[in-house]
Amino acid sequence: EPEVTQTPSHQVTQMGQEVILRCVPISNHLYFYWYRQILGQKVEFLVSFYNNEISEKSEIFDDQFSVERPDGSNFTLKIRSTKLEDSAMYFCASFSGGSYEQYFGPGTRLTVT
């Protein structure tokens, strides 16, 4: 069964450093998403991406964040200058447009020290 993959599974970085979280969505999917879950809290939407551009973003997704689909398979989330409060689990999801189910990756746990 096709699945969304994410790398790395755990990333530790120092405050102020840039991080790139990587995702490989399911190959025939058209919509891509990033969500964030701070430990012990709910899952929050960050951004959606369709047709090589951002289709929607939340108020969390400020200028420190960017997304890119650099090739036909990867979908990345970049945080330019990490803060302590960026520590969270980051989930990538993809969606075909037909089944109405968003398929989630296993997540990347980001720890900012």
Partner 1 sequence: AQKVTQAQTEISVVEKEDVTLDCVYETRDTTYYLFWYKQPPSGELVFLIRRNSFDEQNEISGRYSWNFQKSTSSFNFTITASQVVDSAVYFCALSERGGSGSRLTFGEGTQLTVNP
Query: With binding defined as CB under 8 A, does residue 41 bind partner 1?
Result: yes
Cα-Cα-Cα-Cα torsion 75, 11, 15, 22, nearest 10 degrees, comes to: -10
Residue 12 or 15: the one with the smaller Cβ distance to partner 1 is: 12
Query: With binding defined as CB under 8 A, does residue 69 bind partner 1?
Result: no
Report the candidate in 103, 92, 107 with the shortest Cα–Cα distance to residue 11.
Answer: 107
Residue 5 to residue 37: CA distance in whole angstroms: 17
Residue 82 or 94: the one with the smaller Cβ distance to partner 1 is: 94
For residue 104, the minimal CB distance to partner 1 (Å) is: 4
User: Per CB under 8 A, which of residues 8..27 are in contact with partner 1?
Assistant: none
Assess contact for 112 and 18: CB atoms under 8 A: no
For residue 65, the minimal CB distance to partner 1 (Å) is: 15
Would you state the structure tokens that stand for residue 32, as one six-digit string? 């891509």
Residue 14 or 39: the one with the smaller Cβ distance to partner 1 is: 39
* Footprint of partner 1 (CB under 8 A): 30-31, 33, 35, 41-45, 48, 50, 55-56, 58, 89, 91, 93, 95, 97, 99-104, 106-107, 109
